[in-house]
Each structure stands twice: as structure tokens, then as C-alpha cells.
Structure 1
Amino acid sequence: MSNFNIFLISIFLLSALFFTSSDGATFTIRNNCPYTVWAAASPGGGRRLDKGQTWELNVPAGTSMARIWGRTNCNFDGSGKGHCQTGDCGGILACQGWGVPPNTLAEYALNQFGNLDFYDISLVDGFNIPIEFSPTSGAKDKCRPLFCTADINGQCPKELKAPGGCNNPCTVFKTNKYCCTEGYGSCGPTEFSKFFKSRCSDAYSYPQDDPSSTFTCPGGTNYRVVFCPARSPHFPLEMALCRRTCNGNKDIFDHKHGFNYASPTSGGKDKCRPLLCTADINGQCPNQLKAPGGCNNPCTVFKTNEYCCTEGYGTCGPTEFSKFFKSRCSDAYSYPQDDPSSTFTCPGGTSYRVVFCPARYIRFGSFPLELSSRDR
């Protein structure tokens, strides 16, 4: 082979190496929580984010062992010194190292093997804030959003409870069973890791939970990290956390994801009312949403912000599909941000009943039919 050809090949290889590794990433960090979160990043520092605020972080190509997390209940002075109840990083606002557990982690390494970004949500340091970690640009069809939105703080096993969060068992017990300190294969799932995994299936639940918890995107992809994303499958987080202690000792209740009946049965029944969803939605379901035995929400089918509201509060609204549900079950949530017409309160201490196939409708053949108003 001639020296000239060798030279051309060398230039090609060097150029390929350069362009393969030159694309960093922009991380858009957003706080959707109803409380202030002090975002932290290593590398990157830290910033206070009130509800609805964002922070853009540009990270160079090749960065590895990096993480983003949220800190709660912080107090900093004018020089940026202070303390946080969860996620504290040496008592400073602009973090220079990692945070103290418990804290929910968004971890990543850019432009690694095959010019792939590796990213994950990790509960190996415990949980303090629900989180979304998603690609926002690049080949989004080749990678997917990750979520951990369960009420882990409220359901935390008593052995793992911590002020403001829920510890991983490694933090508490410090043994190989939970920490995997004796090498690969020396540990496995435990009752505690199964608690985390059953609630946040995308996330690392113990240090060697790699097969089900590490994801890749092509190098050059940008990302967002959202604290308290809109995807919570049950109550909005602030409602779940405040069920007995906020809003004047009121219970907050709604109904979603089904056709049933929720009703207060004791306490201040004169101050709250029953909720119903009894229409023949299965029989009238739009073709695009039909499913064996039921009728899907459009978010389940299309997985876009238009229907899922994944990009934060105010980024979505009623659609033709949500109006289909709302016109038939006016009490019910018809899309994720349908809060004003779909959330109800009772005085704390009220008891409730939930009835499947309540007496307000009858069945004719295989379809439930609402009774006419004169028959109610």
C-alpha cells in the first residue's frame, strides 16, 4: 500500500474519531414539584429551582460517571453555604462531588463504546424525589424515556425510612447482601430491592441490577431530567404526600383508569359527594383505543406529550379522545392534567367505598347501559 494511501486512511480514521467523540449533550433540568428543589449535577454544580423553573447544562463529549439529582429542604446563605435534608453535597450550593443519600439519581456516560450514551435512573442511593430522564433530540426512536414516579417515600419500609426520603438498604445495613462489595455475582435481588423494582421498573434497585436498568442512546442526543413529572399513575405527588396533613386536614380523592364508583360512607358526607363512571365506554370506544376487555387512554397508545403531558404542567390540554371520556364520565380524569374538574375533597377521617359495576347502571347482553333518569 502506498504511503499516500496510508496517509489518506490515517486522516479518515482520525476524522472519524474526532466526529464520533465531539458531540456532547445538553441536559434541560426542570422542577415540576409544588416545592423548591435545589438541583445538583456532577459535573455541573447546582442551582435552586422553584416550581416550573429550568436549568440548562452543557456537558462535554466523553463525560462518564456523571449524575444529576435533586436536593430538598435546603437553606443556603449569600455565599452558597448551607445544608439540605436530602442530597446534600458538602454543604454548598454548587456541588463539587456527589450527594448524601437518600437521593434519586439520573446517571449517564456520554460517547462510550460504539459512540453510545449510557443512561439510567438509580435508586442505589435511595429515593427522595420522583424523576423522569428522557432523550429530547437525536434518534429518539432508538431510545426511550425512563420514569420513577411511585410514592416510594409514602410506602417506604420502616427499616429504610429517612427524613425526607427512603434509603437503599446498602446505606442502612452496609453488607455485601445489599451493597455487592465482594464483586460481580456475589449478590442478587432482595426483599428490599424488589420493593423498589416493583414500583420503579426502569430504575436500578441494587448495585448489580444492570440487565434491566441500563439504557443507551446514540451519541449527540440531548436529554431532560424532570423532578415530579406529570406521569404519576395515581394521585399527583403533592396530593399523595399531603393526604392527611395538608389542605386543612382534607382527604383528596378522584378516579381514573376505570369505570367504577367511589363514594364517602362516613364523616362529613354532606361536605363531599360520590363519584361515578358508569357509561358504556367499552362498547363506544374509538377504534384507535380499543383493547381486549377495555378501552385504552390515548397516552397508552400514542405515547406523545399531546396525550401524556410528559413535558410538564401546561404543555397539554383536552383532545378529541379526552373529550370522549369526559362527555361520558364527567367526574373522572380524562387526561393527566384534568385536575380542576376531576379532584374532590372530604374532611379528614372520612371512610369510603369503591364499587365495581354499581347499581346506577344495568347490563343488557354484554354491555352495561346507564339507566334513564326516571329510573334512577
Structure 2
Amino acid sequence: MDHHHRRRRLLLSTTLLSLLCLAFISEAESASFKIVNKCRRTIWPGLLSGAGTAPLPTTGFALKSGKSRTVTIPKSWSGRIWGRSLCTQHANNQTFSCVTGDCGSGKVECAGGGAEPPTTLAEFTLNGDQGLDFYDVSLVDGYNLPMLVLPKGGKGGGCAATGCLIDLNGACPAELKVARGRTGGGVACKSACEAFHDPRYCCSDAYATPDTCAPSVYSLFFKHACPRAYSYAYDDKTSTYTCASADYIIVFCPPPYTSLKLLGSRKDGALLPLVNKTTMYIASRHAHGR
């Protein structure tokens, strides 16, 4: 009996040790996303997991100016992160909505809802082909907030920073501009696809291949200001980046000059600069209290 009891205790200890090891391995394989708000106002980050991907501990929250929040991301996660702006908890406290980036849930948590265009998107596929993370910042669905994605502690791949550091809302072409009210300033900038529903801009129908869908004057507006961001559907070569086993810092409204100085010392091997210096004036000339 004593021998049997000792054996059971040993089996239990081994099982607990195995579970602890598994928990440690699982924790080691997860990533952390530190989401930072450098905008002058509160923003509401939204998070959406891709199909068949593990759910996140949060799908949306308020983030005050100057604050940050770190979210643990499961292994092999894919999905997107964006910022919602000018949000309101309505008087009856029953519904919540945002002027830009709204996810349609009626609540602060997006609960599986995606961003309504136009919205700047950070897209991730973690631990994908050859163990690499693939990530990009996309303006294919338009633009609402400046965003920087910065890998930290990566062990493989290029691990380049990417994003769109310039506030494009003031300089947005009139036909793409989303204004708040009749006399309000620009709060977002539509993609040409969203504005005109033309297959040439949407890369659809007869234009559904890289050979037939070329950059447009509108996508080039985005690309010139934000060289590393996706500007239209087939902008892969200069817009998708890789890193392995990294954590990520996602900064909304990064100060362009500070970011440029900080990243100037990083020789990350990317084909295009993070900021096109000739467009830096856009941010100061059209600053309007972001």
C-alpha cells in the first residue's frame, strides 16, 4: 500500500512538472504587443483574430493619451490591430460608436467585429512559414491615424520597423477626405477603391492580378508619404516584413521627427525609408490636435 501511495505521488509530481513545463513553453512561445498612444486624445485600439486563430484576452479598450497597454498574443496568431478615434458612449449607456475605425459591436470590445474603412491597419501572421512572423501596416482600406510597428528582440528575418508616421488627414485629396461635420477638419482619408468603387482601384474583376492592377495617383499619394506601408492590393514587395520570435511595440501617432531620429541609427536593410523626408512638412503644416 505504501509503495502504491509513493508511486501515485511520484506520478502526480511528474504530471505537475510536465504541466509546468508545458505552461512555460507556451508562455515562451507567445508574444507581447505593447500598444502605445502618443496621440493628443484618447484612442480605442481594436483587435481582430483571423479565422481559426486563438482568441485574444481583449478585442478592444480605451487608451488615454500618453498611456500604453501590453497584450499577450497566442502562438501562431494572425489578425489585425487598428485605432478607433472620436468615440462616444451614448447617453443611454447602451451603445458605443466611433467616428473612425468603428467595429460595429456597439461596445468598447470589438468582439469579432472588423474595422470600418477608412482605417490604418497593422496586420500580423506570427510563427508562419519557416517560423517567421509576417507583418505590415496597410493603407489599402484607407487611413485614419499614424502608426508605427517596431519589432523588439527578434532572432531572425529583417525585423524592420514599418508604419505610416505622417498625419495624412490634412493633406488628403478632397475626393478622398472624410470630415467631421460640414466644417470640421479631416478625420480620415479613404482609399480610391472605397471612394470610387472602380475595379481599377480595387484590383478586382479584369484588374484582379498584379499584372493588370497598377498603382494609381491616389495609391501613390499614400506611398510617397509612407514608403513602407501597403498602398494598394499588390504592393507586397516593399510592404511585407519578417522577424522571428519578436515582441512588438505598436505606437499610434508616433512623433515623426523623434521616430526618424530613433530609427535613423537602425540599419534594418529595408528597401525604402520609413519616412520620406520630403513629406515631413505635411505633419507640421496640417497639424490639428491629433
Tell me which residue corresponds to 1:87. Answer: 101
**C-alpha distance in 2 between matches for 1:231 and 1:141:** 25
Tell me which residue corresponds to 2:162. Answer: 146
SS where residue 99 of structure 2 aligns? Answer: strand
Tell me which residue corresponds to 2:238. Answer: 212
Of residues 72, 90, 99 in structure 1, which corresponds to 2:85?
72
Of residues 194, 214, 225 in structure 2, which corresponds to 1:199?
225
**C-alpha distance in 1 between matches for 2:113 and 2:132:** 25
**C-alpha distance in 1 between matches for 2:63 and 2:246:** 24
1:57 Cα deviation after fit:
1.4
1:147 Cα deviation after fit:
2.9
1:109-166 Cα shifts (integer Å, max 9, x gaps): 1111111100000001111111101102233783111131123111101110013110
Aligned residues: CA RMSD: 2.7
Give the counterpart letter for 1:196 in structure 2. F
Tell me which residue corresponds to 2:254. Answer: 229
Task: Report runs of 4+ in structure 1 exceeding 6 Å deviation.
Answer: none
**C-alpha distance in 2 between matches for 1:23 and 1:150:** 33
**C-alpha distance in 1 between matches for 2:100 and 2:263:** 33
Q: Does the alignment pair 1:302 with 2:261?
A: no
Cα pair distance change 1:98/1:80, threshold 3 Å = farther
**C-alpha distance in 2 between matches for 1:226 and 1:139:** 22
**C-alpha distance in 1 between matches for 2:122 and 2:263:** 24
**C-alpha distance in 1 between matches for 2:202 and 2:30:** 32
Structure 2: gaps spanning 5 or more residues: 1-24, 50-57, 180-186, 268-283, 285-290
1:81 Cα deviation after fit:
2.8
Of residues 138, 144, 156 in structure 2, which corresponds to 1:128?
144
Give the counterpart letter for 1:103 in structure 2. T
1:75-111 Cα shifts (integer Å, max 9, x gaps): 1259673110000000321012211111111111111
Cα pair distance change 1:211/1:154, threshold 3 Å = same
Question: Sequence identity of aligned pairs in percent?
Answer: 39
Tell me which residue corresponds to 2:73. Answer: 59
1:196 Cα deviation after fit:
0.4
Do the aligned partners of 1:24 and 1:110 also contact (CA within 8 Å) in 2? no
**C-alpha distance in 2 between matches for 1:118 and 1:298:** 25
Tell me which residue corresponds to 2:191. Answer: 168
Do the aligned partners of 2:146 and 2:252 also contact (CA within 8 Å) in 1? yes
Do the aligned partners of 1:121 and 1:146 also contact (CA within 8 Å) in 2? yes
Do the aligned partners of 2:32 and 2:247 also contact (CA within 8 Å) in 1? yes
Do the aligned partners of 2:157 and 2:242 also contact (CA within 8 Å) in 1? no
Do the aligned partners of 2:223 and 2:231 also contact (CA within 8 Å) in 1? yes
Cα pair distance change 1:26/1:180, threshold 3 Å = same
What's the TM-score once normalised by structure 1's chain length? 0.55
Structure 1: gaps spanning 5 or more residues: 1-18, 237-296, 305-342, 344-376
**C-alpha distance in 1 between matches for 2:192 and 2:263:** 33
Q: Aligned ranges for residues 95-110 of structure 1 at < 5 Å?
A: 95=110, 96-110=112-126
SS where residue 177 of structure 1 aligns? Answer: helix
**C-alpha distance in 1 between matches for 2:261 and 2:256:** 13
Do the aligned partners of 1:124 and 1:205 also contact (CA within 8 Å) in 2? yes
SS where residue 192 of structure 1 aligns? Answer: helix
Do the aligned partners of 2:136 and 2:163 also contact (CA within 8 Å) in 1? no
**C-alpha distance in 1 between matches for 2:236 and 2:119:** 19
Number of equivalences: 223
Do the aligned partners of 1:37 and 1:50 also contact (CA within 8 Å) in 2? yes
Structure number with greater CO (CA < 8 Å, separation at least 6) is: 2
Cα pair distance change 1:140/1:51, threshold 3 Å = farther
1:184 Cα deviation after fit:
2.2
Tell me which residue corresponds to 2:35. Answer: 29
Give the counterpart letter for 1:74 in structure 2. C
Tell me which residue corresponds to 1:137. Answer: 153
Larger Cα-atom Rg: 1
1:44-67 Cα shifts (integer Å, max 9, x gaps): 411111111112111212222x11
1:267-321 Cα shifts (integer Å, max 9, x gaps): xxxxxxxxxxxxxxxxxxxxxxxxxxxxxx97575349xxxxxxxxxxxxxxxxx
SS where residue 107 of structure 1 aligns? Answer: strand
1:23 Cα deviation after fit:
2.0
Give the counterpart letter for 1:62 in structure 2. S
Do the aligned partners of 2:38 and 2:253 also contact (CA within 8 Å) in 1? yes
**C-alpha distance in 1 between matches for 2:263 and 2:158:** 19
**C-alpha distance in 2 between matches for 1:107 and 1:41:** 10
Give the counterpart letter for 2:107 in structure 1. I
